[in-house]
Amino acid sequence: MSTITTSDGTSIYYKDLGPKDAQPIVFHHGWPLSSDDWDNQMLFFRLKGYRVIAHDRRGHGRSDQTDTGNEMDTYAADVVELARALDLRNAIHIGHSTGGGEVARYAARAEPGRVAKAVLIGAVPPIMLQTEANPDGLPKAVFDGFRTALLANRAQFFRDVPAGPFYGFNREGAAVSQGLIDNWWRQGMMGGAKAHYDCITAFSETDFTEDLKALDIPVLLMHGEDDQVVPIANSAHKAIKLLRNGTLKTYEGLSHGLFATHPDLINADLLDFIVA
């Protein structure tokens, strides 16, 4: 397996495919998944001639199951170390859900010349949690429910999420894919329970407002209008107002996991943004 060891001794697994002199595209997965969630996109862009990279966030997938450091500043610092180790320059960073938050924080702090563009898909910024400054966010009780379910029976919880709201399979008439459900569960159970528990706080309570304001690169926001996990009104509709060079593209009727349920549509739009 390909890994780097971070400054705090954590082993981070990554995939790196394609010509080393081609423009890199870096994929950042959502909670509680792994780099495997991007298999379709990595193959698509590899066959287009790009260098494609994806890593398992610490505590997830094949990376070390860490007890500490499961928060957004450390996640972004790990990406800094990965980009340096692989000498990634002029890269496109694409993040889904929690990974979108990771992209925003990393890109705002990246070394000069490392990042060309960013894409946030169904992403958590600017902040999910209901606060005084964000009164229409989701109540803390929602995320407490996630923590309770994870503690009670993580394996069952990781069946229920993809079978229900994540892919919109709870909607009447939905074309349910058992393969997607099984693959979600497989990826989730590869990771560490403690890291997954901590990451609920990371994705729900981290405020990315200043990160979004700091970005001067082109940023594409892609969001399903029927996202039941990261509702669009509290995320993309707010994030676009904070970006200096942002574009918002929404998808009627599509879910949180839209790049997995509709890869042909999303891949084509990603390619259009990358080559523009």
> Which residue of the set 28, 55, 96, 256 is catalytic?
256
34, 63, 97, 235: which is the annotated catalytic residue? 97
SS3 track for the chain = CCEEECCCCCEEEEEEECCCCCCEEEEECCCCCCHHHHHHHHHHHHHCCCEEEEECCCCCCCCCCCCCCCCHHHHHHHHHHHHHHCCCCCEEEEEECHHHHHHHHHHHHCCCCCEEEEEEECCCCCCCECCCCCCCCECHHHHHHHHHHHHHHHHHHHHHHHHHHHCCCCCCCCCCCHHHHHHHHHHHHHCCHHHHHHHHHHHHHCCCHHHHHHCCCCEEEEEECCCCCCCHHHCHHHHHHHCCCEEEEEECCCCCCHHHHCHHHHHHHHHHHHHC
Active site residue 11: no
Q: Note if 97 is an active site residue.
A: yes
Note if 196 is an active site residue: no
Instruction: Point out the catalytic residue in the list 37, 56, 227, 269.
Output: 227
Please give the positions annotated as active site. 97, 227, 256
